[in-house]
């Protein structure tokens, strides 16, 4: 089996047969509860050709999308938006389908940039704060404080005192990638290092964490 590909095995009470799908570059195998793992693995083995063909296709589509990203676009929650200045719209930012309309304070480039940044920060802070509270509850941990920064490459951190810190630029990433970063930092509340038990706990709340981590490594520069 392809070793740099992540295989995720899942059981589903309503699944009638074993099925394979490609999600975020990972291979997800869903099977009914009572199908023995050996049978499932044999099925995956037989489907290798199909899997590699579809993985290739999924990668190609994604790369094409990335190379098409041009000037005057921004990434928001993993999607690309065209930036258009439109003074007939309300002051600030309005989003409609794939367009981000900007009505800046004045017509300078800086003013447009500032309006976008302000909106971006507000979106990042409110979504990440909400998700951090939800995930902390699900993971049964609590944190003291949440802070935001705008940094080049650091996505998040967790202090010994339980203060979480997140990069505002994360708002450009898909939601599941943002959740991965939050889960990672919330796991540090109980596990300060990156040992085996740390990653086991991360995997409990984000089975696709390897894919999400990889996404940040390859697309982080675009954010
Ligand atoms: Zn860490």
Tell me how far the alpha carbon of residue 195 lies from the centroid of ligand 1, in angstroms: 10
pLDDT in tens, 139-185: 999 999 999 998 877 899 999 899 999 999 999 999 999 999 999 99
Co-location of 53 and 140 in the same domain: no
In a domain, 16, yes or no: yes
Q: How far is the CA of 158 from the centre of ligand 1 (A)?
A: 8
State in Å: Cα 207 to ligand 1 middle. Answer: 16
Give yes or no: residues 197 and 138 share one domain.
yes
End residue of a domain, out of 34, 52, 67:
67
Q: Give the domain range for residue 33.
A: 7-67
* Residue-wise burial string across 119-157, b where 16 or more C-beta atoms lie within 10 A, e elsewhere: bbeebbbeebeebbeebbeebeeebeebebeeeeeebbb
Which residues are paired to 21 by β-bridges?
28
The reply to whether 1 falls in a domain is no
Whichever domain contains 190, its CATH number is 3.30.2010.10
Residues 29, 99, single domain; the answer is: no
User: How does pLDDT run across 24-77, given as a tens digit for each residue?
Assistant: 677 888 888 888 888 888 888 888 888 888 888 877 766 555 554 456 889 999
Question: pLDDT at position 202, please?
Answer: 97
Q: Which two tokens stand for residue 172?
A: 């450009």
Give residue 223 CA to ligand 1 midpoint distance, Å.
Answer: 20
DSSP label of 52: H
Same-domain check for residues 46 and 116: no
**Cα 79 to ligand 1 centroid, rounded to whole Å:** 26
Number of domains in the chain: 2
| Same domain as 94, residue 53 | no
**Does one domain contain both 21 and 81?**
no
pLDDT at 165: 96
CA distances from 19 to 9, 46, 51 (A): 10, 12, 11
Give residue-wise pLDDT tens across range 141-154: 999 999 999 887 78
C-alpha span between 120 and 148 (Å, rounded) = 12
Domain final residue pick, 39, 67, 95: 67
- For ligand 1, the distance from its centroid to the CA atom of residue 163, given in whole angstroms, is 14
For residue 100, pLDDT over 90 is answered with yes
Distance 194 CA to ligand 1 centre (A): 6
What is d(CA 14, CA 177) in angstroms, rounded to the nearest whole number? 27
């Amino acid at each position: 089996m392809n070793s740099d590909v992540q295989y995720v095995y899942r059981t589903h009470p309503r699944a009638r047969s074993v099925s394979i799908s490609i999600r975020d570059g990972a291979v997800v195998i869903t099977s009914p509860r009572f199908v023995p793992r050996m049978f499932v693995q044999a099925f995956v083995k037989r489907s290798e050709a199909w899997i590699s063909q579809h993985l290739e296709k999924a990668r190609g589509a994604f790369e094409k999308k990335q190379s098409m990203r041009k000037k005057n676009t921004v990434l928001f929650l993993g999607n690309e938006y065209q930036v258009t200045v439109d003074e007939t719209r309300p002051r600030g930012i309005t989003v409609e389908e794939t367009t981000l309309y900007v009505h800046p304070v004045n017509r300078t480039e800086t003013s447009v940039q500032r309006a976008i940044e302000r909106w971006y920060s507000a979106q990042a802070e409110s979504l990440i704060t909400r998700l951090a509270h939800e995930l902390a509850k699900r993971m049964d941990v609590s944190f003291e404080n949440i802070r935001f920064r705008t940094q080049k490459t650091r996505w998040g951190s967790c202090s010994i005192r339980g203060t979480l810190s997140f990069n505002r630029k994360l708002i450009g990433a898909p939601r599941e990638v943002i959740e991965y970063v939050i889960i990672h930092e919330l796991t540090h509340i109980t596990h300060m290092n990156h040992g085996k038990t740390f990653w086991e706990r991360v995997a409990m709340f984000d089975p696709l964490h390897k894919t999400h981590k990889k996404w940040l490594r390859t697309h982080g520069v675009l954010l």
